[in-house]
Amino acid sequence: MSLLPSATESQQSEWRAVGEGFRRFEIGRPEVFEDQKWGGMKVRFPLTLTPSEQERQLEELGEPDPGTQQSWRSSYRVGLSLGYFKKGQFQTTMLVDFLCAALGSENGKKFRKWIEKGGHGPRPSDPDDRDAELVLLGDWFGWWEGLEVYGTITHSTGNDGRVWANFAGPMPIGSLPGQPEAEYQALARGKLRALINEAGPQDGELAKQAPMPETKPEPQPAKRAFKEVFPEEDDAF
């Protein structure tokens, strides 16, 4: 520590993790990074309980003990894979499932179809320019910042005694009975159109298609886990 630490650096606080159970989160700015422990490239989605969920948690758990602060955060880490085809069937991934869920119950299916047809984020003009691709990926995942998602929190305890708030099972807003969340669907619909338009014409079949129309397209002829959650260190208390 610095010889002259700031007030925040000197502060010693105990934290109480996000309570277990089914919760609603807002997504922060995603971060693309190389996983030094497990290998490969991953994206981390910071998650913060929505204000109404924060109130509900305090009602359920009560105020934390003196000297203890309540955390509202968790995160979700997944590998950079948009799926693949096996025996002609599209195989989804944890990343695709999360992105679909965050776009709401009305828009997630449209996004999944776009991905199945080869959709992806912007790519650099030089396919070997990894640094440029990482920047473009980071910007593309930024479309999900500010969106929301349901998920379940479970706790686990590390060897050092800290409690981890693990997020799993993303579900789209609007999927609960009697809660269509029309305003949220409209917000996500706008983001979906924008991110697809930003991606521009792409190779293969997608290059021949116009951007996703606002109306339902005409029927087209039929054409032929390892599951891990890697909680962020900041999520441990």
Say if residue 44's pLDDT is above 80.
yes
Rounded distance between C-alpha atoms, residue 213 and residue 128, angstroms: 33
Q: Give the model's confidence band at 64: pLDDT under 50 very low, under 70 low, under 90 confident, else very high.
A: very high
Q: Which of 88, 55, 87 is nearest to 72 (CA)?
A: 55
Q: Give the model's confidence band at 217: pLDDT under 50 very low, under 70 low, under 90 confident, else very high.
A: very low
Rounded distance between C-alpha atoms, residue 174 and residue 105, angstroms: 5
Say if residue 17's pLDDT is above 90.
yes
Q: What percent of the chain has pLDDT over 90?
A: 66
Q: Say what the pTM is.
A: 0.80
Three-state secondary structure call for residue 45: strand
**How many C-beta neighbours within 10 Å does residue 19 have?**
18
Say if residue 230's pLDDT is above 80.
no
Beta carbons of 16 and 237 less than 8 angstroms apart: yes
Mean pLDDT of 224-235: 40
Rounded distance between C-alpha atoms, residue 162 and residue 56, angstroms: 24
Beta strands in the chain (DSSP E): 14-16, 21-27, 31-34, 41-49, 68-70, 73-79, 84-86, 89-91, 148-157, 163-171
Cβ contacts of 179 within 8 Å, gap of 6 or more:
none
Beta strands in 118-188 (DSSP E): 148-157, 163-171
Structure tokens at 3: 């010889």
Say if residue 111's pLDDT is above 90.
yes
Say if residue 186's pLDDT is above 80.
yes
Say if residue 231's pLDDT is above 90.
no
Q: What is the mean pLDDT of the chain?
A: 84
Q: Give the model's confidence band at 226: pLDDT under 50 very low, under 70 low, under 90 confident, else very high.
A: very low
